[in-house]
Amino acid sequence: MFHKEGHKIILITLIVVVALFLITDTYVVLPWLNMIIMIALLVFLLLILQFFRNPKRQTAYDDNTVVSPVDGKVVVIEEVFEKEFFKEKRIQVSIFMSPVNVHVTRYPIGGQVVYSKYHPGKYLVAWHPKASEENERTTVVVENEVFGPVLYRQVAGALAKRIVNYAKEGQQVNQGSDSGFIKFGSRVDLFLPLDAKINVSLNQKVRGAESIIAEK
């Protein structure tokens, strides 16, 4: 199953790869060179397909927990001052996505979207300390009665040139459902209440919509 954000790119890639296959088969007479080109084209097509995959996930809906919004590796767990929305201290948990990870963004909690904003910006590498404040990014806050407000921020990386965000203020959303997509390497930051119990550790690999990041 492929994400809708990739349908156009997959179709274009497939057409180009088929065309190059036919050209190679017709005009490249050296068998070894013909084979190398065709293998390279197949590998390229497979990379595009795996990047836009959208696997189904089983979310155990629970208003007491925050699930990971993305697949990736936990690279930051620290207390910070969140400047944009809360304007107070929060626990930041950041998850880095490599180009081989699933890049679907999912709602970490269910509830109402109370804030959603896009920020144009730079394309520093995703693990840069200033990436969360200076890179192209979107900030979304979802709130429910049990956990309260949770902020998550999609942050573009050096390779990510487009962030897609579906969250609209006032919208009711389900925990674990699709909230957007980031094309190529990037990260997502979560900002959680100080009394939240963090269930992950640095360098731990997590799965979007399934791994529990925190609970109350």
The residues carrying an active-site annotation are 186
Amino acid at 17: V
Within 10 Å of residue 18's Cβ, how many Cβ atoms?
Answer: 12
The answer to whether 116 and 139 have CB atoms below 8 angstroms apart is yes
Give CA 190 to chain center in angstroms.
Answer: 12
Residue ranges with strand state E in the chain: 65-67, 72-82, 88-97, 104-106, 111-119, 137-144, 148-156, 163-165, 172-173, 178-182, 186-192, 197-198, 205-206, 212-215
Distance, in Å, from the CA atom of 81 to the CA atom of 79, rounded to the nearest integer, reads: 7
Residue 2's SS3 state is strand
